[in-house]
């Protein structure tokens, strides 16, 4: 390969020299590009436009399939839909969306007229606010405690830089707060006059918390974080008595509180940061309830401390789960304590009635029958009632919402997700199985397929994985996924290390020096499904986004023979270069996840050994669809662009290699619900074409009872 030294860069560190021949794709003006894509350097734009044109040409033969898939997926979406109203004082609040609309409306009704359509008040109409915007993303919508004011944050180009708007609900008048660096995070104080919000520094990291009057004017900085490896956030406790400012990275937390009823009160630290100490707090009567990993509680426990705690010395144990059970979170009500735990990869909810701070709680556990499922709960806006809202779904069963009376245990069905085109869970089979990783660890896999599928090793497989930041992948329902399942594919989730499906240990065994476990777990999961005679070894595909895109990139380097097709969505593939660039938004905060290659040669060599971009080889790669967002602040557009450019130069085969850069969107892709469905239809058309699936789904046969 002839090297163009005007377009490449030589990296030298720890006595190691690397040539990055595609460094020119990184616009040095990247900060401005995120805010205004029109300033992108012309040669880079030409490259991205050419790749988009190549992708459009390659996918032109699937346009009718894309249209059919879009209509299929749209048919599974309730065009007119509404969330279950959440009571708060004299009102109930909810969101709804109408047929043909891209965005939701935020609404409310008086509690006394909650069943009256005529009593509805539309607080915010996303469609009206979006206008003709190519991208429109609402970050947060919060009504004031006195119900007179509404504040929301809005991103208009996908860069995750937000405008903050306050609306007087009595007049409809709007005020845009004077800040051009806000994040989505904004919270009301108890006085309904004061707002707290966070802003981004020059490198796109949340580093400050501000206090301002709802009517605007000069804002006051109440907290500034000096460590570039920490993010900050602001929230209110569930009782709304306190504001909480939390500074955190991936391994350490530090919480500061102030009186929410006194907008001029000063922050007070609950316990200063200690490397490796996680903790989250909520107030309960006259104590703090604290979820923490202190004293070796790797899977977390609950502790209690007085409200004037300032150093951790007064914390005492309250509840600790059984061994190998992960405490995910907790919900406080006046007379109840609810916890969510994870046992062997499956979530569960426990309820303690009339808990006291003086004695350890005893929980009653709610039972669910599916082999794999997703489970969540919310206490709502109010803490003085006995209402718990439960959210449940499985790969075959659409989302269900119940309201549970914690006193009686009675559950009332509030909503069942509708699939207008028709859906019968009996047409599908879900299951869970376990792969054996190279080191002997058991890796859980959730899957769904047609009930009439014959396990003779002829079915295609589509395997999803993530495996980073301790983020677990729930086994939930997806109407779009059914388009692949109905055509005969087995769709599975590999719950690989790097997540927390099997506890905090599962996370630590998939990060830093253990990162390659994530990749080998994924490979083991695919091979296990082949060994079960469930799928065809020659018809495997995979998908991962962001850090999951790194997983895809690493796996196709390690085992290019394993998959026939792969989709890498906003993939974090230029890992070594990014972790060596301390100015990029996520680099210092993520050294705890991947290692700091600037200071550590060991970390440098370790990352270099698996970074997808650095390990592209002269190999026969599977068909690849790579997706990027020009204004993406999390995985910058040039990572997937550079990766594809290097793949084009080095790979030895001519399988499809497609790069699509969304020129008007960021990390999450299209913002409108129909536009998002079109993107999914595009991805699935690529997979259906690559795997030889039928363009039309065969009729489904109901399984015998």
Which residues participate in catalysis according to the annotation?
A: 546, 632, 667
Find, among 238, 229, 254, the residue nearest to 246 by Cα: 254
Alpha-helix runs per DSSP H in 595-703? 601-610, 638-650, 673-691
Q: Where are the beta strands (DSSP E) in 16-120?
A: 16-20, 81-82, 86-88, 91-97, 105-110
HSE on the CB side for 107, CA within 13 Å?
Answer: 21
Residue carrying structure tokens 């699939």? 419
Q: 314: how many CB neighbours lie within 10 A of its CB?
A: 15
Sheet-wide strand order for 174-176: 137-143, 149-155, 163-168, 174-176
- The residues near 30 (Cβ < 8 Å, ≥ 6 apart) are 636, 638
Q: Is 380 exposed, middle or buried (0-12, 13-18, 19+ CB in 10 A)?
A: middle
Contacts of 50 (CB under 8 A, 6+ apart): none
CB burial class (10 A; 0-12, 13-18, 19+) of residue 298?
middle
Q: What distances in angstroms separate CA 416 from CA 79, 136, 397, 431, 629, one per listed residue?
A: 15, 28, 10, 22, 34
Residue from 696, 695, 616 nearest 657 by CA? 616
Q: Look up residue 29 and give its DSSP letter.
A: T
CB atoms < 10 A from the CB of 6, how many?
6
What is d(CA 284, CA 261) in angstroms, rounded to the nearest whole number? 17
The 8-class DSSP code of residue 472 comes to -
CB proximity list for 58: less than 8 A, separation 6 or greater: 656, 658
Query: CA 548, CA 570: separation in Å to the nearest integer?
Result: 9
Nearest to 542 by CA among 690, 395, 397: 690
Share in percent of the chain as helix, strand, coil (round to 5): 25, 35, 45
For residue 646, report the phi and psi dihedrals to the nearest 5 degrees.
-70, -40
Nearest in space to 497 (alpha carbons), one of 487, 507, 486, 482: 507
The burial of 359, by beta-carbon neighbours within 10 Å (0-12 exposed, 13-18 middle, 19 or more buried), is given as: exposed
What is the chain's alpha carbon radius of gyration, rounded to the nearest angstrom?
A: 25
């Amino acid at each position: 390969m002839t090297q163009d030294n005007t377009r490449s860069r030589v990296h030298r560190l720890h006595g190691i020299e690397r040539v990055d021949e595609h460094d020119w794709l990184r616009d040095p003006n990247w900060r401005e590009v995120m805010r205004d894509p029109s300033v992108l350097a012309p040669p880079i734009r030409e490259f991205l436009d050419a790749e988009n044109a190549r992708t459009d040409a390659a996918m032109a033969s699937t346009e009718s399939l894309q249209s059919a898939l879009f209509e299929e997926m749209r048919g599974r979406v309730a065009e007119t839909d509404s969330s279950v109203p959440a009571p708060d004082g004299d009102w109930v609040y909810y969101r709804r969306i109408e047929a043909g609309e891209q965005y939701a409306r935020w609404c409310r009704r008086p509690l006394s007229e909650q069943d009256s359509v005529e009593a509805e008040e539309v607080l915010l109409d996303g469609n009206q606010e979006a206008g003709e915007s190519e991208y429109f993303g609402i970050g947060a919508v919060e009504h004031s405690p006195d119900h007179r004011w509404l504040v929301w944050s809005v991103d208009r180009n996908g860069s995750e830089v937000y405008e903050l708007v306050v609306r007087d609900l009595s007049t409809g008048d709007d005020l845009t707060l004077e800040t051009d660096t806000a994040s989505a995070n904004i919270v009301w104080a108890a006085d309904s006059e004061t707002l707290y919000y966070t802003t981004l520094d020059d490198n796109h990291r949340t580093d400050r918390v501000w206090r301002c009057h709802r009517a605007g004017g000069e804002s006051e900085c109440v907290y500034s974080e000096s460590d570039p490896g920490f993010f900050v956030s602001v929230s209110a406790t569930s009782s709304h008595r306190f504001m909480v400012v939390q500074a955190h990275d991936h391994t350490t937390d530090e919480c500061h509180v102030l009186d929410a009823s006194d907008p001029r009160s000063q922050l007070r630290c609950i316990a200063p940061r200690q490397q490796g100490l996680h903790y989250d707090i909520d107030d309960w009567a006259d104590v703090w309830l604290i979820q923490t990993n202190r004293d070796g509680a790797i899977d977390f426990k609950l502790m209690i401390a007085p409200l004037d705690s300032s150093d951790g010395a007064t914390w005492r144990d309250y509840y600790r789960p059984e061994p190998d059970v992960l405490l995910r979170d907790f919900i406080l009500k006046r007379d109840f304590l609810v916890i969510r735990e994870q046992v062997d990869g499956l979530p569960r909810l426990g309820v303690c009635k009339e808990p006291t701070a003086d004695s350890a709680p005893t929980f009653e556990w709610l039972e669910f029958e599916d082999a794999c499922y997703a489970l969540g709960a919310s206490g709502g806006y109010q803490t003085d009632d006995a209402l718990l809202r439960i959210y449940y779904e499985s790969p075959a069963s659409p989302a269900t919402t119940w309201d549970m009376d914690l006193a009686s245990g009675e559950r009332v069905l509030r909503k069942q997700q509708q699939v207008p085109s028709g859906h019968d869970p009996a047409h599908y089979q879900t299951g869970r199985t376990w792969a054996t990783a190279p080191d002997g660890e058991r890796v859980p896999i959730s899957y769904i397929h047609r009930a009439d599928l014959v396990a003779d090793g002829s079915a295609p497989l589509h395997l999803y994985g993530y495996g980073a930041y301790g983020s677990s992948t729930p086994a939930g329902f997806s109407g779009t996924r059914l388009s692949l399942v109905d055509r005969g594919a087995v769709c599975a989730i590999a719950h690989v290390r790097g997540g927390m499906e099997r506890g905090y240990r599962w996370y630590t065994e998939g990060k830093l020096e253990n990162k390659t476990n994530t990749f080998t777990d994924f490979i083991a999961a695919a091979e296990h499904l082949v060994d079960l005679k469930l799928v065809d070894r020659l018809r495997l595909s995979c998908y991962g986004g962001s850090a999951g895109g790194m997983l895809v990139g690493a796996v196709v380097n390690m085992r290019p023979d394993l998959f026939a097709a792969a989709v890498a969505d906003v993939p974090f593939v230029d890992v070594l270069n990014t972790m060596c660039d301390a100015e990029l938004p996520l680099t210092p905060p993520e050294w705890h996840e991947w290692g700091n290659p600037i200071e550590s040669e060991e970390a440098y060599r370790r990352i270099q050994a698996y970074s997808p971009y650095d390990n592209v080889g002269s190999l026969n790669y599977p068909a690849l669809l790579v997706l990027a967002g020009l204004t993406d602040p999390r995985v910058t557009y040039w990572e997937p662009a550079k990766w594809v450019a290097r793949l084009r130069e080095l790979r030895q085969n001519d399988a499809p290699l497609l790069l699509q850069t969304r020129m008007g969107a960021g990390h999450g892709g299209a913002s409108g619900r129909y536009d998002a469905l079109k993107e999914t239809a595009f991805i699935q058309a690529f997979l259906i074409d690559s795997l030889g699936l039928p363009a039309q789904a065969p009729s489904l046969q109901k399984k015998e009872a």
